[in-house]
Amino acid sequence: MSAGMNERTRLIIGDDGVRRLRDAKVVLCGCGAVGGYALEGLVRAGVGHIRVVDKDVFSESNMNRQILATTATVGRPKAEVACERARSINPVIDIESMDVLVSEDTIPAILDMGPDVLVDAIDTIGMKVRLLREACARRIRTFSSMGAALHTDPMAVRIAPVMDSSVCPVAARVRRELRGCDTSLTTCVYSLERPVAVPTEKDENGKSILGSMPTIPAIFGMTLANEAIMYILGKE
């Protein structure tokens, strides 16, 4: 990273903080609506080593809320585009893409770099729970996004230990599935706003399509990034 790029960051966190971020290793699972903004915050802060995990490709329907989705990236793998974006900001970043689904079979490889931090921005609850369980077992400091869709109130966004979250239906299921796990190293971003009641549509695979604004996922993603950054800096 050039000295000019981190000049403003250095003024607030000092040389030691810049070094901590440069040396940190982060795994980011999911680089869509929430994860794309999380990546943006991590890269611009100067995190030096990032593994991006996402099997999906960009579609036109992503363009209302996903920072990496443009007319030029529709149809392209999300993880690949994420790495290109990161290198366009910081050409010397050590970043790699894993074009895989998060599953019981792939989680060991996803976490094998021994990350300082895991940022979870995946939206499939079953996969999210499997990932969080393994992170808990490995004692990895984790920052996880709960449901960002169907929300409109930025003032309702909260940060809490995952077992202290409330209201959010996604968080409720995650809490239930994580009972018996030591979740002391898992923090979540969630909303106290009850999900907006709107008709639910289905995609071609029968999966529910949830309405989403461009603003709330961005807040979730940047909040995840900030929490991860503060942890790396020892300011948690």
pLDDT digits (tens, 9 = 90+) for 214-223: 999 999 999 9
pLDDT digits (tens, 9 = 90+) for 28-46: 999 999 999 999 999 999 9
pLDDT digits (tens, 9 = 90+) for 58-86: 999 999 999 999 999 999 999 999 999 99
Show me where the domains of the chain are located. 7-232
Per-residue confidence band for 2, with pLDDT thresholds at 50, 70 and 90: low
Q: What is the mean pLDDT of the chain?
A: 95
The one-letter amino acid code at 78 reads K
Residues 6+ apart with CB under 8 A from 220: 34, 37, 121, 145, 148, 157, 189
Domain 7-232 maps to which CATH number in 3.20.20.70, 3.90.1300.10, 3.50.50.60, 3.40.50.720? 3.40.50.720
d(CA 124, CA 102): 9
pLDDT at residue number 134? 98
How would you class 191 by CB atoms within 10 Å of its CB: exposed for 0-12, middle for 13-18, buried for 19 or more?
A: buried
- Residue closest to 135 by CA, chosen among 107, 162, 176: 107
pLDDT at residue number 4? 82
pLDDT at residue number 201? 72
pTM above 0.85, yes or no: yes
How would you class 76 by CB atoms within 10 Å of its CB: exposed for 0-12, middle for 13-18, buried for 19 or more?
A: middle
- Residues above pLDDT 90, as percent of the chain: 90
Strand order through the sheet with 94-98: 94-98, 49-53, 25-29, 117-120, 141-145, 186-191, 157-161
Q: Check pLDDT > 90 for residue 163.
A: yes
- Across residues 98-107, what is the average pLDDT? 97
